[in-house]
Amino acid sequence: MQSKPLGICLIIDCIGNDAAFLRDTFTSLGYEVQSFLYLSVDGIIQVLRRVAGMPQHREYDSFVCVLVSRGGSHSVFGVDRTHSGFPLDQIRRMFMGDACPFLLGKPKLFFIQNYVEPEDPLDNSSLLEVDGPAVNNLESKAKQPGSSTIHREADFLWSLCKADVSLLERSSSSPSLYLQCLSQKLGKERRRPLLELHIELNGSVYGWNSRASAKERYYVWLQHTLRKKLILSCE
């Protein structure tokens, strides 16, 4: 990746403990950081739609999204306490190749810290679903039918960490262990493939979990469709 900046790094921190050090980390890596604090679900959707539709992606080589929020097993709540939640799968869909053509074939990195709240068995409300970003006019300019054989779900890295919401009640100002470790790994002045750094991140989280109570543990899932080795190095 050689563009300057490398791309947009979108940080949405609905807890307020992680945005500052994440901004420093991704700025040092060469990203243009856009940071938002304490968003509602509607606010999260509006920001994601706007960023997914940005024509600047055409000039950049990658995209990063870091999201910190309370949520359910498969959704985020933002600062809303009574909302049914916005599905995590919908976030990924908003940046797939058919919805966000300027990022087709480019690495799209998502790091999500979700503090999971107990589910209410009496809550029968459905998850909020929205259409993808309104980029039809951009898509027609970005690619023509048959012009690309790249799958719309290619080149994603999806790193999701779940922790019990009671962690925030114990220490409301403490940053996420997962995101702290990620920031430290990325900040080291050595060129290491991102997937190798994520393995080390998993090891750090495992070490913490081996000493922590069940309510204090972090659980990390990684999915990726990256087609090339990806290295991020501090400037």
**What is the reported pLDDT for 175?**
95
For residues 19 and 183, what is the distance between their CA atoms, to the nearest angstrom?
Answer: 11
Q: Are 27 and 4 in contact (CB under 8 A)?
A: no
Q: Name 4's Cβ contacts closer than 8 Å, sequence gap at least 6.
A: 30
Which of 17-31, 36-50, 69-83 is predicted with the least confidence, judged by mean pLDDT? 69-83
pLDDT digits (tens, 9 = 90+) for 97-114: 999 999 999 999 999 999
Query: Averaged over 174-197, what is the pLDDT?
Result: 90
Which of 40-54, 62-76, 181-195 is predicted with the least confidence, judged by mean pLDDT? 181-195
Closest-CA residue to 89 (of 75, 69, 77, 73): 75
| pLDDT greater at residue 233 or residue 230 | 230
Stated pTM of the model: 0.88
pLDDT, the chain, mean? 88
The topology (CATH level 3) of 7-118+152-225 is Rossmann fold (3.40.50)
Q: Is the pLDDT of residue 141 over 50?
A: no
**What is the reported pLDDT for 100?**
95
Domain ranges for the chain, please list them.
Answer: 7-118+152-225
Q: Is the pLDDT of residue 40 over 50?
A: yes
Q: Name 74's Cβ contacts closer than 8 Å, sequence gap at least 6.
A: 85, 87, 88, 89, 127
User: Bridge partners of 12?
Assistant: 36, 67
**What is the reported pLDDT for 134?**
41
